[in-house]
Amino acid sequence: MTSDDLKEFVNAQKALGFSSGECEELLCELATKLFNEKKGVDTFKALKVVGKTFVSYFDLVTDVMVFLELLRKNLTMAVVQGVTLGFSMVLQSLLSLLLGQPMLVALSGLFGCKPVIEAWRDATDAKPYQNQKGPNSYILSQPKSHFGNYH
């Protein structure tokens, strides 16, 4: 709610018959209530989200490193690793679509960018997308790029 919204609301009350003093008191009460309800930074939540994101990317990096090592030593196992890694990214993107997220967010899963997007949305308490089925914290906990990878 912006200050213009507050002023508009108070002016509407004045039009309904509130006196100037009552409108001033109402404005003070609303401003105080909004100030008191404003959320502070939850340091623990921010650290938890950063931790989840680091673990997710650490997992992805190690999966790619295993894939590259297998390319040098065992082509068959490299194909298995590559297919499972690709499958997990496709699955993550499909789950994103099924949970009501926009196409662009779902596609970001194919490039390994989705954990950062979800972490930012969860840490900032962003409003869920219009058709999203569940809060951001639930979406953040969905499978990332570690679905059955062969290590």
Q: What is the pLDDT of residue 66?
A: 94
Q: What is the band of 151 on the pLDDT scale with cuts at 50, 70, 90?
A: very low
Indicate whether 143 pLDDT > 70.
Answer: no
| Averaged pLDDT, 57-86 | 92
Are 123 and 45 in contact, with CB atoms under 8 Å apart?
yes
Q: What is the DSSP letter of 125?
A: T
Q: Assign residue 109 a region: left if phi > 0, alpha if psi is -120 to 50, beta otherwise? A: alpha
Q: Which helix (H) or strand (E) holds 147?
A: none
Summarised one tens digit per residue, pLDDT across range 22-38 is 888 888 888 777 776 66
Measured between alpha carbons, how far is 93 from 146 in angstroms, rounded to an integer?
13
Listed by start position, the domains of the chain span: 3-37, 43-140
Any idea which residue has 């960018």 for tokens?
113
Q: ∠ CA(4), CA(10), CA(13), 5° rounding?
A: 145
pTM: 0.56
Token pair, residue 19, equals 């006196």
